C-alpha cells in the first residue's frame, strides 16, 4: 500500500524504515481476513490519544535533535517488569515527532487502534491523527504547553550505564509547563548519540512510566513525513474521523454479499495507484 507522500529519499537506507512505517499504518489490514472477521466489524472504537511521549512533558527532551529514528517502547513501571502501553517506530526532526504503532497479534479492535498514527509539533503543541484504512487525518491539540527544560548535574559523572547497547550518563531533568506545573524525569543520555535520551523514567498523571528507545539511528529524516499525506482526506476533528470509520464498519454489518476474501472494510485490498515512489 502506498499511503505516504511521494518522496525521493536522499539515502536508500531510509527506504526500509519508511516501508516499515507504511506497514505499521496499515496494520488494520493484517490478519482481519480470517473466518469470523465480520463479528469484529461491528466493534466500535473511540479516538485514541497520542502516547505521552508525544504531547506530554517528555516530548521536550527530543526537540534538539537534527534527525533520528528508533524503536520506542513505553511501559508502565520499570523496564522489563512493566506493562507495555505503546510500542512502535518513532521519528524526530528538530521538534517534530512521528509515531507509528507496530503490528501486534491482537483482537480486531486492538488492530484498528493500531491503524492510527500520530504526527506532533512540540513547539506548536498540536499535530495530526492519521488512519490509513480510512485514508484520512484530523488535527489534534493539547491544552498544556511545555516551555522549559532544566537539567541537573549528572547523577554520577564518572559512571556510565549501558542502555539498548549505548553508554549513557544519567541526569535529572525538570520540565516546566505554562500553567506553572513541573515534571521531573530521570534521563539516560547516550554519549555516542550526541546526548539523545534513550531512556526516560518519570510519572504521567501520577503513574510511573518508562520510555526506552532501541535500534536508534541519527539520520536525516525527510521533513515531508511530518505532514499528512497529500492523498488523505481531512476531517475536522478526531471524533469526526473515528465516527466515519465506525459508520463504515456499522454499515458493513448489514451486507448480504461478503467483501472480497470474506474480509472486513479495513482489509479490502487497496487498488489505488501508489502515491510513493523510490
pLDDT score of 260: 35
Q: For residue 153, is pLDDT > 60?
A: yes
Mean pLDDT, the chain, rounded, equals 77
- 274 pLDDT higher than 50: no
Tally Cβ neighbours within 10 Å of residue 269. Answer: 11
Domain 13-145+213-267 falls in which CATH fold? outer membrane lipoprotein receptor (LolB), chain A (2.50.20)
Inform me whether the pLDDT recorded for 90 exceeds 80: yes
pLDDT score of 147: 87
Decide: pTM greater than 0.85.
no
Burial 68-83, CB ≥16 within 10 A → b, else e = bbbbbbbbeeeeeebe
User: SS3 of 125, please?
Assistant: coil
Report the SS3 class of residue 150: strand
Amino acid at each position: 500500500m502506498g499511503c505516504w507522500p511521494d518522496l525521493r529519499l536522499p539515502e536508500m537506507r531510509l527506504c526500509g524504515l519508511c516501508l516499515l512505517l507504511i506497514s505499521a499504518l496499515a496494520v488494520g489490514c493484517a490478519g482481519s481476513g480470517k473466518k469470523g472477521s465480520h463479528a469484529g466489524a461491528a466493534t466500535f472504537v473511540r479516538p485514541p490519544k497520542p502516547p505521552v511521549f508525544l504531547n506530554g512533558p517528555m516530548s521536550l527532551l527530543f526537540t534538539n535533535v537534527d534527525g533520528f529514528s528508533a524503536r520506542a517502547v513505553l511501559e508502565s513501571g520499570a523496564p522489563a517488569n512493566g506493562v507495555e502501553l505503546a510500542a512502535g517506530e518513532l521519528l524526530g526532526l528538530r521538534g517534530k515527532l512521528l509515531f507509528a504503532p507496530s503490528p501486534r497479534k491482537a483482537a480486531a479492535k486492538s488492530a484498528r487502534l493500531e491503524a492510527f498514527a500520530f504526527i506532533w509539533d512540540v513547539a506548536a503543541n498540536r499535530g495530526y491523527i492519521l488512519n490509513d484504512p480510512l485514508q484520512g487525518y484530523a488535527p489534534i491539540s493539547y491544552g498544556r504547553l511545555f516551555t522549559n527544560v532544566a537539567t541537573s548535574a549528572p547523577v554520577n559523572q564518572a559512571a556510565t550505564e549501558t542502555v539498548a547497547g549505548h553508554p549513557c550518563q544519567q541526569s535529572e531533568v525538570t520540565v516546566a509547563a505554562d500553567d506553572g506545573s513541573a515534571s521531573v524525569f530521570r534521563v539516560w543520555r547516550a554519549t555516542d548519540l550526541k546526548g539523545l535520551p534513550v531512556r526516560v523514567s518519570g510519572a504521567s498523571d501520577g503513574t510511573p512510566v518508562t520510555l526506552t528507545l532501541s535500534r536508534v539511528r541519527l539520520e536525516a529524516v525527510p521533513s515531508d513525513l511530518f505532514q499528512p499525506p497529500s492523498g488523505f482526506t481531512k476531517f475536522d476533528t478526531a471524533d469526526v474521523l473515528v465516527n466515519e470509520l465506525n459508520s463504515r464498519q456499522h454499515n458493513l454489518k448489514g451486507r448480504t454479499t461478503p467483501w472480497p476474501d470474506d474480509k472486513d472494510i479495513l482489509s479490502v485490498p487497496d487498488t489505488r495507484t501508489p502515491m510513493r515512489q523510490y
